[in-house]
Amino acid sequence: MIYFENEGLICELNDGILLLKINRESKANALNGVTSYAMEEVLNKAENDKDVRVIIITGAGSKAFCAGEDLSELSSSGECATVTPHGFGGITNRLSKKPIIAAVNGFAVGGGMEIAMSCDLIVAAEHAKFGLTEVKVGLIASTGGLVRLARDIPTKLAMDMMLTGRVIKADEALKHNLINKVVSSENLLDEAYELARTICKNVPLSLEFSKMIFHRAKQMSLEDATAYCDIAYRFIEKTADGIEGPKAFMEKREAKWQGK
């Protein structure tokens, strides 16, 4: 089912899985302002749509996932027109309660890499490449790239990529845990959908709380994070799904989730 469509973005929703495809293949799927804001709107809508369980982001074609910002969109003063209230592509400054998977079908550079790193999981085609190339054009990876890269991979490799603008291949990205899995180009979307279907089998509230706690715990002491987790558990165990899950397990039947 078509969820949203314009000249730069095609979104389809099927069986709880929302596929966002950046559809600017002639521009290496670089984002212009219209497409970036369209992604913002779609992700805002999906955030509160119970029919959306998992989100997959990919690019059209097999060459590029996203080449970052379409530099022709810069104003005469150099002002960026693609950063929305939730960052570049509506995602780089978003903590979504929905699991998001990046299916990287080609090179993800500049803002494209920032989009991929903003996702919870990354599945990449064998020919995919990753890099923060902003230093090559007099800019910086300001919408999450510098911050996330410094936290996600070893310091020396992060400094190498940030200072040189070097692009790394999928196998090197996997070696340093920047991505989750490398598959053939032909199997990329199948793998992403299989991962999404596995996630869809789990309870929406459990997924939402797990993500929330995981991200916030990084900014807390162990004691505070543990206390926060305990408070969340005491809340979720009293929800309809928190009661239904253990009950269905004990009765050896399929659970009926209500999403509350």
Give the 3-state secondary structure of residue 252.
coil
- Choosing from 40, 69, 134, 191, which is the catalytic residue? 134
Q: Of 108, 92, 88, which Cα lies nearest the Cα of 100? A: 92
> CA 205, 209, 211: angle at the middle one, nearest 5?
120
Answer yes or no: are the C-beta atoms of 103 and 188 closer than 8 Å.
yes
Q: DSSP 3-state assignment of 16?
A: coil
CA 25 to chain centre: 20
Element (H, E) at 66: strand 64-66
Residue with tokens 């408070």: 231
**H or E element, residue 64:** strand 64-66
Strand-pairing partners, residue 104, are: 124
The closest of 241, 240, 218, 243 to 229, measured between CA atoms, is 218
Got the DSSP string for 150-164? HHHS-HHHHHHHHHH
Q: Tell me how many degrees the CA angle 111-119-14 measures, rounded to the nearest 5.
A: 115
Catalytic (active site) residue 12: no
The one-letter code for the residue type at 176 is H
114 flagged as catalytic: yes
Catalytic residue selected from 25, 114, 172, 251 = 114
Tell me which residues are annotated as active site.
Answer: 114, 134
